[in-house]
Chain A
């Protein structure tokens, strides 16, 4: 789906969401019942740099400052972080982490944050946007890519064909929405043939549940060890500290 198709299906009675220079999405819309939704994001597959982060984080902070429980929708189509010497020199890691922290603060303050990936998402920009939301949703055709196969091939010295074969038995390294769903990154994939506003309402109707991505990945057989290792660490920390193992 294109961004316009996504927005029109999410907000059939209209919206005040716009895409600025450099593909930065800001604005707001209303839910069927009239309650506001704050909308931010990255469009057109552009790379996210220091300049792009600031208006996005600014809007999130204004939503938090206004109080209430207005949900924040994060639309994502980005090729990754901007790769320039200038952005690195100015501390791009702080800017990307800042956006993630603002979204996480919003969650803490009672705002539901929903990520919706309808295009690309990769690397540091993936962490700063989609992966910093409470609930991440994919649309068919989304292409989350932590590392493309040619790069994996270069480093591992295994031919791409062999990696493609290997990716059929493990979702752990190969790009693709299906693999990231199995890992627990995405809570669900929406049906583009059905109105998205109803699917957004259904998602908002479910309460926030904390970070269950590792447990989801365990259930979907994408990450066999992450959830159990985290649980064992907590138990061991309590035992070694003279506490109870059952907490």
Chain B
């Protein structure tokens, strides 16, 4: 049965379902779901492939409070079809972002709990378009003054369209287990060979796509412990401090990404990037606990910025 709130706060974000994450992240009993499963808004396509549908199509959306502040929220269920963007699951997120964009009376913060391998293969065309619509809606919401915050720490990580969506947001919170990328290691290995990317080499995969690398090079803005309380604390700290979206922020991002390209031009692995960032022994990184790592990352030049 349910753990007490105290022990619940220490339970793993990685292992939790979308609904458990919402319960662990938001203030107790503050969540109201939109398009509840009882309305049976499900994929009209999966049956073509003899696959079972889900009454929420793997995305839970709604509103609630975080430390008393009202937020809109969407959470992908990584355990249903890998958290993928399908026609319906994608449209739920699109609708949520458009609601925030168009209605100032709704909460001015949207939390996206990403846990997704990207576009749903069985609905590839609809899923790809949903991601395009989500990215556009994120930008339009940001222009309207809404902070859109990505939280990445689920088993499926944030790859493909989810990786691009994360990088479109105002802020990205990641845990050590939260992997972010475009092509997953298996996809690169299948297409380009094991010499390019050995997907079985877990240490290599982690160093390339894992949350610590993303935080160190400025690809994520906050690092959370893999617990409900870890993500809650990180999200609370960001509320009200998300950067806006305008020519200045995009110019700053262009400069930031150009510098990164030059800085790491000679690097063939993550450890050599970390050395350039001034980390004497890159092998310490994987063993470092959350507090030490957060302190280290916060001190690295360029890791914290508003260029997003």
A238 — which chain B residues lie within 8 A by C-beta? 99, 103, 106
* Interface Cβ pair total, 8 Å cutoff: 280
A98 interfacial by beta-carbon distance below 8 Å? yes
A74 — which chain B residues lie within 8 A by C-beta? none
B301 interfacial by beta-carbon distance below 8 Å? no
A72-110 interface mask toward B, CB cutoff 8 Å, 1 = contact, 0 = none?
000000000101111011111111111011101100110
Cα(A131)–Cα(B137), bound, Å: 13
For chain B, what secondary structure do more than half of its interface residues adopt (helix, strand, loop), or is it mixed?
helix
Whether the Cβ atoms of B126 and A232 lie closer than 8 Å is: no
Contact stretch, chosen from B20-28, B225-233, B263-271, B284-292: B263-271
A152 interfacial by beta-carbon distance below 8 Å? yes
Whether the Cβ atoms of B125 and A233 lie closer than 8 Å is: no
A217 interfacial by beta-carbon distance below 8 Å? yes
Query: Looking at the complex, which one of B41, B45, B247 makes contact with A64 (CB distance below 8 Å)?
Result: B247
Interface residues on B, range: 35 or more
Known interface pairs A93-B163, A100-B168, A131-B132; A173-B121 also in contact (CB < 8 Å): yes
B91 interfacial by beta-carbon distance below 8 Å? yes
Cα(A174)–Cα(B124), bound, Å: 8
B106-122 interface mask toward A, CB cutoff 8 Å, 1 = contact, 0 = none?
10000000000001011
Which residues on B are within 8 Å of A, measured CB to CB? 32, 34-35, 41, 44-45, 48-49, 61-63, 72, 87-88, 90-92, 94-96, 98-99, 102-103, 105-106, 119, 121-133, 135-137, 139-140, 143, 158, 160-161, 163-168, 180-183, 187-188, 191-192, 196-197, 207-209, 213-214, 217, 219, 245-247, 250-251, 253-254, 257-258, 260-261, 264, 267-270, 273
The contact sample of 7 A-B pairs, CB cut-off 8 A, is A83-B191, A84-B192, A128-B164, A172-B126, A174-B125, A179-B125, A234-B102
Which residues on A are within 8 Å of B, measured CB to CB? 50-51, 53-54, 57-58, 61, 64-65, 81, 83-86, 88-98, 100-102, 104-105, 108-109, 123-124, 126-128, 131-132, 146-147, 151-152, 155-156, 158, 166, 170-174, 179-180, 183-185, 211, 213-214, 217, 222-227, 229-234, 236-238, 240-241, 243, 247
